Structure 1
């Protein structure tokens, strides 16, 4: 957390450090003396006029932070949530963020590892060996990073190879048979070449139980290797080569039943017992009919060249990344075999090139000038198929919706479909999507020292972004292909109108307050033939008058069960299949050194994120394009409007800040008003994701963090974030006009408080005790739920109270042993909730991780 870093850092991932400068120091507390590269220059945190939180390697080690999900417990302005697979993690800074669950959406929060942009969210930090620090930059960062990030940046920095031989090894064992191991070695190959080689292994049994499959789920199984070479042939030239490969093969992610709707009775009947744990969403007891799988490969390489030209420094970073994810999930989250397959195979190839020229003149003017190129290809193959139980499930739904008048077999006969074709096992959607994204930008900043204490800065970033995409989605769902309004079915609809009118009339005559059953109708007709004749005549007249009235179509309730209709694919003659975006983002900043220990700054900055593409089964023509398609007679059955893509995000922030550094304390304060026009909202509706733009979302906020060292060896930290977010205007959300409301999932108050006490014994042995507490005030988890009144979503709240602690004994021979625990109070809450898949009236949710603890042994040499 900001000001809580316990290890001063002197090696920079994005700026070459002078030869011979140490890579790390001791565990003494230095507060704002920590060196960061948030501004693309090596500066102390005190002198960096940017809202940035820094979590050092020591903090990560003491807090047992294993991945970016855990990092939020140290950075209050950051929120991270795990979604339906190990490859889907959503990052939110100051209440802004998106990008998970849809390969066509770049995140609003950019993740960089050693200066290389990671375009998708399957990024780990705890398994990265030789991690040096994590910088979280808050607010738009367009003028410092060539790849625009409209909400903020997470910059992960690892240590460079060293010319002194050394290394480390670490093994940890915890509950759920968790085993993590890391090892690294570094040293010289020659006087001008150094290397480092590292590997990691992370395995854990599942912390949840699948009571239907009788096995644990939500396990962890991942490993990786990483190698580096550092060439320093002269004092002026440094070349850093990095290659890495990591693999994930695990079962993830469970969803508990939050609200048990009327369909639960059907699924219970289908399996002859409980199909969900309907009483306790936090029990970590789930029911599935097959294990979900996540196989993810992530690999790539980069080359960073730093050349010292005296008063100028030239940096080039070239990188190629490949992510291959193959996932399959029992996405109905019941033990009934409703969804037999929900698979996604996604391949992402990314090439980036960045060049920067940075000045270091003695005069009042200095500058940074850069260019950035980004090229990416996305290929995705997906499928969603009906399972063995879906035909019986669909039959029950249709019977319930028609008051018992209809079933699947009757519909197949009446609509001319082959027997057994509706909801047939193995039918559904086969999906293929492609997207190519090319972007380039020119960016830079100029700093002008008006006086020794006052510096004015201006920056700009001009970006061009081009995306081209296509779809090839084929439906084999026979029922969804039927146009229930078609004229060919008019006689059948007329018959149903008549039958329904008779049943309603008899029910009214009998005072039942419902439609009469077939047996009740027959009995009434026999006992009251005259009255029955009148009811039948009225029913027939009503049926004749309404046989062509779409609103009176008795098959209308069945349209909700046409889950997977035919797709209207791109490219086509009516819609564009490309986006072209241009933007000029800019910033102005004034930084003033009030005293040698207090700095203040004021910033205005804009940011930009290009159009995002809806690469999902909810990708539908825009309303204007749909009208043209219908007019041309090219519409597929049940085609509705939606969004193929969302237009760009344009952000701006007004911010003032104060940074103070004293001998025993440090503090940082930021007050800001940040907004995004065109925020790209991505919401699950029960069968797919709807991508739409909010006209404007804004947040007023106050961020404070500080540290104090009241006695030798004790460092106390406090970080607090207050946010007041709202949708200034959001008229076309998935839940209607929600303008003026508070965005879901963004707590008003977030706090991280911690303490680290280090005691050194005679002889040099040290004992280190650390504890930290993370709090988030109660907040509505989701903006709305399709099919539910607003009050249901408003009743679903999340409050976070998490306690973490560790104790480490560091011996003088480089050996360390310790114990650690996360979420020690076993606090339980839901991270995300969503409508249950194809189960109207039910809600599912992802629970947080339970208490974990373990022991660690570490050796450094």
Structure 2
């Protein structure tokens, strides 16, 4: 029996009361089924549901696309609580996401994509993010809530032919719901522990026979998971707001014009990394964390990170405002469709951090507020020539500017913490107190490209697909760090390598902590990407493919400071890094059987990257954010499997797994891990000391060839099921259901050079839901995430505060639970 409007209104009113939010009506659009899908009852009667994707810039079944890809629809995202990319990783084992704050975020696919560590504005991701065909140049968008979307496609492996120069690891293709010419709406509200409140809603309908509009909103709030005893507040909270509107003009069946805009704001008290452990380095014992802490009579509020307490004394903020507008024109003309996508986007980042990770006034500020704008234009033509040839050809332009106003300021505890205790200056707090570096950073990035891909059906079963892209990139930047300190006569002076105070002992000491720098790096180059895929249909529902791709990630420039030479001059050779050059081989098998009730897809891949762009640290205190360097060669290879089954309309299940073997094939001059750093650097025939022995000699650099790449687990799995049973509640016909989603990843390294202190042990997370939904779109369910309250780290960070042995960590979310109510019409 259909739910009445009165009953539906009562449910929505109850949901509003529970979540203390004011949702706007929204709508569901039926989209493709994904593993673990819990689509509505009507879809459940269709075990042969076809998953439609646009991975090759045209709509087609995912099983016909010779690419390793995963598709998650809006129903799965909602039911599993996957409201952003971070949550999405728990459904897709080959996808990794690391974030210590929105700016310092990285998305990797198969372990590749971005250097592990703090972000450097002068390089780009190796995983492209596309929202409604618009390339997003900053990965900060991945920290935002999904807003009124239809589905998310994750394409694994190089996608440079169609998705751009910097998709050497893959692409994430996000498709929003379109304006509808039928009035529809949807509202969802959630309340949970940790004061979790979330509301998502949208409404769509016609304004005329040729004009339709859609509007969506999403808000998320949650109390922080870490208690700061210094301020009496919970930090690392969630505070997100997103708005999106779109207008569709369809004057004829052959022309569609879509104007869209979005605004997103985050303003949490975030993001603290807290004491995780101490790991002895080769620094003298009196300059390591235990001795330094004892000198101040200081101890962290807890030595167990999972007590979830900290005492950081600097202001914390992660205010991020991101948005933009796009105009998409689709015109069916001739044998295909001409598409133009014009877009402007902006990002305003206003952070506050505590980068000494303690309650001591060592470093008061390390903040890099920045403003970004980007403009993109793509024009492409996609179509078919007869029954044998499909094609896509186009041009793409990208222009980006970033302006950053950085500041680093030292406090009263800096002298004792950062200067050698044998120095008479270490006991004088005034020497480093008030030492300030003001960093002005500018960046301009221009890119133009022409691309094409051809799909030739040689026979009904054999298809040959070549693709090519030619790209030109130009990057220019400037880094100007002006350092001001107090001279021994008590006057404020510029800290420099020349001038009347250059040899003042206070200025010399300050220069060793924060050195002034000015340099103007630049990079420009042409590059050619190409690929060739052979696809063969073995049987109606079995397709095999093989791919070779030559891809690249454009070169970059260092915009976070570089090491100085002995005379204090910046090492200009470190001002830029060469492009990554990628050779990728892949074979795959896509199958369906049991009357298409079961799907099994397999992929094997081998990726080698020369001149891999790695983020490194050289131990100089002034280069806190690290800089870039090229590793000689890395290799990633592995096997992936995705299986889903729906034996009846009552039950569905899925399991996905990935084995990934990864290593630096050649990196002979890498930075050393903390246990092999901090001591006096060897010279001549001297032999480095044992790891972790205070006062031992340290190597100038380390050969880490053969070691793990950071952030990659050898094994990763996602798995789950859902069972439903028809029931009638208060006269409403529907289904009671129970679902489970779990994921596991094995041990991985959390440092660019693998350290004995920063390996993160493997862990498994389990999420459950129990609910009731009706044929007419009502869905009510209770959920629990990390049900067994597993204690795990998302990241560990070494080299904090000058290699004192302090390891800071970011604990993963504890057990959370709540109730969700959704209704659509």
Deviation at 1:30, TM superposition (A): 4.8
Counterpart CA distance in 1 for 2:40 and 2:475 is 41
> Does the 8 A contact of 2:102 with 2:143 survive in 1?
no
Counterpart CA distance in 1 for 2:710 and 2:248 is 46
The partner residue of 1:583 within 527, 532, 536 is 527
> Does the 8 A contact of 1:32 with 1:661 survive in 2?
no
Q: Does 1:9 align with 2:31?
A: yes
1:510-525 matches, within 5 Å, as none
Cross-structure match for 1:122:
140
Counterpart CA distance in 1 for 2:628 and 2:137 is 18
Describe the superposition over 1:19-39 as per-residue Cα deviations: whole angstroms up to 9, x where unpaired.
xxx999735565772111111
Counterpart CA distance in 2 for 1:250 and 1:200 is 16
Counterpart CA distance in 1 for 2:721 and 2:329 is 39
Cross-structure match for 2:679:
none
Describe the superposition over 1:820-845 as per-residue Cα deviations: whole angstroms up to 9, x where unpaired.
12211121222222222235222212
Q: Secondary structure at the match of 1:377?
A: strand
Cross-structure match for 1:798:
761
Counterpart CA distance in 2 for 1:24 and 1:312 is 36
Deviation at 1:737, TM superposition (A): 1.8
Pick which of 187-196 and 725-734 moved more. 725-734
Q: Secondary structure at the match of 1:451?
A: coil
Deviation at 1:846, TM superposition (A): 1.6
The partner residue of 2:616 within 661, 666, 683 is 683
Q: Does 1:612 align with 2:556?
A: yes
Counterpart CA distance in 2 for 1:487 and 1:294 is 38
Cross-structure match for 2:655:
718
> Does the 8 A contact of 2:63 with 2:590 survive in 1?
yes
Compared CA separation, residues 848 and 560, structure 1 to 2 (3 A): farther
Q: Does 1:195 align with 2:213?
A: yes
Runs of 4+ in structure 1 off by over 6 angstroms are 22-25, 486-490, 558-561
Cross-structure match for 2:83:
66
The partner residue of 1:708 within 645, 651, 655 is 645
The partner residue of 1:94 within 110, 135, 144 is 110
Cross-structure match for 1:784:
753
Compared CA separation, residues 124 and 53, structure 1 to 2 (3 A): same
Cross-structure match for 1:507:
none
1:368-387 matches, within 5 Å, as 368-387=392-411
Cross-structure match for 1:362:
386
Cross-structure match for 1:520:
none
Counterpart CA distance in 1 for 2:48 and 2:609 is 33
The partner residue of 2:74 within 48, 53, 57 is 57
Describe the superposition over 1:641-678 as per-residue Cα deviations: whole angstroms up to 9, x where unpaired.
76212111121211110001122210100011112211
Cross-structure match for 1:771:
740
1:27-426 matches, within 5 Å, as 27=44, 30=47, 33-83=50-100, 85-98=101-114, 101-124=119-142, 127-260=145-278, 263-265=288-290, 268=293, 272-277=297-302, 279-394=303-418, 397-399=419-421, 402=422, 406-408=424-426, 422-425=431-434
Describe the superposition over 1:591-640 as per-residue Cα deviations: whole angstroms up to 9, x where unpaired.
111111101111111211111222113x347xxxx6xxx8xxxx537x56
Counterpart CA distance in 1 for 2:258 and 2:629 is 42
Compared CA separation, residues 449 and 172, structure 1 to 2 (3 A): same
Compared CA separation, residues 483 and 409, structure 1 to 2 (3 A): farther
1:588-737 matches, within 5 Å, as 588-617=532-561, 619-620=562-563, 635-636=567-568, 643-662=574-593, 663=595, 664-684=597-617, 687-735=624-672, 736-737=702-703
Counterpart CA distance in 2 for 1:850 and 1:731 is 40
Q: Secondary structure at the match of 1:594?
A: strand
Long gaps (5+) in structure 1 = 1-5, 12-21, 411-419, 493-554, 572-576
Describe the superposition over 1:795-832 as per-residue Cα deviations: whole angstroms up to 9, x where unpaired.
x3331211112223113453321111221112122222
Counterpart CA distance in 2 for 1:253 and 1:221 is 12
Deviation at 1:7, TM superposition (A): 9.1
Deviation at 1:778, TM superposition (A): 1.8
> Does the 8 A contact of 2:495 with 2:502 survive in 1?
no
Choose 1 or 2 for highest CA Rg. 1
- RMSD, aligned α-carbons: 2.9
Deviation at 1:745, TM superposition (A): 2.2
> Does the 8 A contact of 1:146 with 1:370 survive in 2?
no
Counterpart CA distance in 1 for 2:802 and 2:42 is 56
Deviation at 1:435, TM superposition (A): 0.9
Q: Does 1:570 align with 2:578?
A: no
Describe the superposition over 1:444-478 as per-residue Cα deviations: whole angstroms up to 9, x where unpaired.
11111111111111000000001111122112246
Compared CA separation, residues 850 and 580, structure 1 to 2 (3 A): same
> Does the 8 A contact of 2:127 with 2:166 survive in 1?
no
> Does the 8 A contact of 1:93 with 1:109 survive in 2?
yes
> Does the 8 A contact of 2:223 with 2:237 survive in 1?
yes
Counterpart CA distance in 1 for 2:168 and 2:809 is 28
> Does the 8 A contact of 1:651 with 1:677 survive in 2?
yes
Counterpart CA distance in 1 for 2:477 and 2:574 is 14
Describe the superposition over 1:200-233 as per-residue Cα deviations: whole angstroms up to 9, x where unpaired.
1111111111122221111111112110001110
Long gaps (5+) in structure 2 = 1-27, 34-38, 281-286, 488-493, 673-701
Compared CA separation, residues 452 and 839, structure 1 to 2 (3 A): closer
Deviation at 1:408, TM superposition (A): 4.2
Counterpart CA distance in 2 for 1:594 and 1:246 is 47
TM-score, normalised to structure 1, is 0.81
Q: Secondary structure at the match of 2:239?
A: strand
> Does the 8 A contact of 1:263 with 1:841 survive in 2?
yes
Q: Secondary structure at the match of 1:247?
A: strand
Counterpart CA distance in 2 for 1:153 and 1:124 is 12
Q: Does 1:855 align with 2:819?
A: yes
Deviation at 1:256, TM superposition (A): 2.1
Compared CA separation, residues 295 and 319, structure 1 to 2 (3 A): same
Q: Secondary structure at the match of 2:406?
A: strand
Deviation at 1:334, TM superposition (A): 0.7
Cross-structure match for 2:43:
26
Q: Secondary structure at the match of 1:737?
A: coil
Q: Secondary structure at the match of 1:349?
A: strand
Compared CA separation, residues 292 and 467, structure 1 to 2 (3 A): same
Cross-structure match for 2:792:
829
TM-score, normalised to structure 2, is 0.84
> Does the 8 A contact of 2:415 with 2:427 survive in 1?
no
Deviation at 1:770, TM superposition (A): 1.7
Describe the superposition over 1:314-335 as per-residue Cα deviations: whole angstroms up to 9, x where unpaired.
1111100000101010111111
Counterpart CA distance in 1 for 2:611 and 2:41 is 43
Deviation at 1:8, TM superposition (A): 6.2
Counterpart CA distance in 2 for 1:239 and 1:24 is 33
Which of 1 and 2 has higher RCO (CA within 8 Å, sep 6+)? 2
Compared CA separation, residues 465 and 184, structure 1 to 2 (3 A): same
Cross-structure match for 1:525:
none
Compared CA separation, residues 421 and 482, structure 1 to 2 (3 A): farther
Counterpart CA distance in 1 for 2:124 and 2:41 is 34
Q: Secondary structure at the match of 2:737?
A: strand
Deviation at 1:81, TM superposition (A): 1.1
